[in-house]
Amino acid sequence: MPKLIKERVPTPERPPEERVRDFNEVNLGYTFELAKQEAERCLQCPVEYAPCIKGCPVHINIPAFIAKIKEGDVKGALRIIWNDNTLPAITGRVCPQEDQCEGACVVGKVGTAVNIGKLERFVADYAREHGIEDELLQEFARECSEKKGKVAVVGAGPAGLTCAGELAKMGYRVTIFEALHKPGGVLAYGIPEFRLPKEILDHELDKLKRLGVEIKTDHLVGRTVTIEELLGEYDAVFIGTGAGTPRLLNIPGILLGRIYSANEFLTRVNLMKAYEFPEYDTPIHVGEKVVVIGAGNTAMDAARSALRLGADVTIAYRRGREDMTARIEEIHHAEEEGVKFEFFLNPVEFIGDENGRVKAVKFEKMRPLEERDRKGKRKIVGTGEYVTLEATTVIIAIGLEPNKIITETPGLKTNPNGTLVVDENLMTSIPGVFAGGDAIRGEATVILAMGDGKRAAKAICDYIEKKAKAEA
């Protein structure tokens, strides 16, 4: 039994005063030495028991990869991670580990949990920077030479990218159809560079291309080409179109200028690089006071981006602090950087100026009850008291719904909330058409989307093989 080291080895971070001035990454990650030190803290729970594995939505063999880090064998560690997760540089950065692997880790019962997320990220980054990934990739690419069939993937978010990668590894010819000009889904347009540098994403995309996956950007399926047409040309289709439609508040003043959905704001800033306007052509305006409504990752990302554009930023949330859904690390970072938080405020009206632009938000103060809702959050009621916050810009981050264009496909069944209906093999109501990620779950997480992509790839493989046998 190794000695228990209660406190985790910290990862270096750039100081808040420095990082709020640019969009570069906040957390710098472990060095080789620090990673080994942190790896020492893992108690190496037996695989059949290890709570971290159970806590991981795709069941990465965490103690095994950590053991490899201890030995200094990064390639071995990467091979283990890749068994279950081909995008560790991304998940290591964006997974809500505190609710998953780290939340379950036994070390966390007496001290702070093993920093599994940052170790995962270390393996990916180190392997990429030292050519180790290349070696492994070549091994995989060799296995991809055999062509078994053709699959179309709709949407280049984590679900689609994972499904495509897995299928390519199994020997299928895969084409991804992506509506935007850049693949990545939320990773490209939503999550800002200071959390996930575009370089990392680009590298992952490159990896896929090296496995032979073709990515057709500028193709909106349902408009440029239909599912039916894809089925005519491909043996199967995977839909990973995400939950890309913003929910807006249906309250007076919603059409005023400078009220953005978080998606619009983040797309302008991130994908279109509006923070470099007019060097880049897409404009954005924040003014002095930004109010962000919501308390998830999207709200944190929007708030911290607005901060970097020079604004004074307040997050207003209708519930209490403990009910915020963002990753703990993001909430901490936001606080450190100077984002202010107001709780128990429910927006009821946007107030505009003479130019049709927002100038303030009126909120009703809310009061928590003892009673809890189905999700375990305390119920809230209005108090009849109102407050007004000044705002030159408002960003609404209260959630997303599945993108509607794909759901117009004839024969494609949806649930009342707009998500696609799938069976236990992730097959939709149209034979040969599979789906996963936010498109079937509503707003979920990167790792769950990847897990679906992977499961769907296996199901698609079975489906095509069965079909081929039936036809033979």
Ligand X SMILES: Cc1cc2nc3c(=O)[nH]c(=O)nc-3n(C[C@H](O)[C@H](O)[C@H](O)COP(=O)(O)OP(=O)(O)OC[C@H]3O[C@@H](n4cnc5c(N)ncnc54)[C@H](O)[C@@H]3O)c2cc1C
User: From the list other proteins, ligand SF4, ligand X, none, which binds 258 (C-beta under 5 to 8 Å, kind-based)?
Assistant: other proteins
For 385, list phi and psi in degrees, rounded to 5: -100, 145
Smaller CB separation from other proteins, 130 or 223: 223
User: From the list ligand SF4, other proteins, ligand X, none, which binds 52 (C-beta under 5 to 8 Å, kind-based)?
Assistant: ligand SF4
Smaller CB separation from other proteins, 170 or 205: 205
In whole angstroms, what is the distance from residue 200 CA to residue 309 CA?
A: 23
Binding of ligand X at residue 186 (CB under 6 A)?
yes
In whole angstroms, what is the distance from residue 282 CA to residue 80 CA?
A: 42
Smaller CB separation from ligand X, 74 or 286: 286
Smaller CB separation from ligand X, 328 or 468: 328
With CB under 6 A as the contact rule, the residue among 157, 253, 294, 451 that binds ligand X is 157
- Per CB under 6 A, contacts with ligand X among 390-429 are 403, 405-406
Binding of ligand X at residue 100 (CB under 6 A)?
no
Pure H helices in 130-157: 132-143
- 3-class DSSP state of 44: coil
Binding of ligand X at residue 179 (CB under 6 A)?
yes
- Alpha-carbon torsion (263, 188, 230, 428), positive or negative: negative
In whole angstroms, what is the distance from residue 91 CA to residue 59 CA?
A: 13
In whole angstroms, what is the distance from residue 91 CA to residue 83 CA?
A: 14
Binding of ligand X at residue 449 (CB under 6 A)?
yes
With CB under 6 A as the contact rule, the residue among 151, 200, 438, 464 that binds ligand X is 438
Residue 9 burial class via C-beta count within 10 angstroms: exposed 0-12, middle 13-18, buried 19 and up = buried
Calculate Rg over the CA atoms of the chain: 23
Q: Which stretch binds other proteins (CB under 8 A): 53-61, 215-223, 287-295, 409-417?
A: 215-223
Smaller CB separation from ligand SF4, 105 or 154: 105
Residue 104 CB, nearest distance to ligand SF4 (Å)?
6
- 3-class DSSP state of 156: coil
User: Tokens 């037996």 sit at which residue?
Assistant: 46
Binding of ligand X at residue 298 (CB under 6 A)?
yes
User: From the list other proteins, ligand SF4, ligand X, none, which binds 186 (C-beta under 5 to 8 Å, kind-based)?
Assistant: ligand X
User: From the list ligand X, ligand SF4, other proteins, none, which binds 279 (C-beta under 5 to 8 Å, kind-based)?
Assistant: other proteins
Smaller CB separation from ligand X, 158 or 253: 158
Give 300's contacts (C-beta < 8 A, 6+ positions apart).
315, 326, 327, 330, 331, 333, 334, 339
Residue 356 CB, nearest distance to other proteins (Å)?
4
How crowded is the C-beta side of 243, counted as CA atoms within 13 Å?
Answer: 22
Binding of other proteins at residue 220 (CB under 8 A)?
yes
Q: Which residues pair with 393 in a beta bridge?
A: 290
User: From the list other proteins, ligand X, ligand SF4, none, which binds 50 (C-beta under 5 to 8 Å, kind-based)?
Assistant: ligand SF4
Going by C-alpha positions, the residue among 445, 406, 466, 179 that lies closest to residue 326 is 445
In the complex, which residues of this chain contact ligand SF4 (CB under 6 A)?
42-45, 50-52, 62-63, 66, 105-107, 114, 116
Residue 62 burial class via C-beta count within 10 angstroms: exposed 0-12, middle 13-18, buried 19 and up = buried
- From the CB of residue 386, how many other CB atoms can be counted at a distance below 10 Å? 14
Going by C-alpha positions, the residue among 31, 37, 29 that lies closest to residue 92 is 29
Residues that bind other proteins (CB under 8 A): 179-181, 189, 216-220, 223-225, 244-246, 248, 250, 254-258, 260-261, 263-264, 267-268, 272-273, 277-285, 355-357, 403-405
Binding residues for ligand X (CB under 6 A): 94-96, 154-160, 177-180, 185-186, 190-191, 220-222, 240-242, 244, 266, 297-298, 301, 327, 403, 405-406, 437-439, 444-447, 449
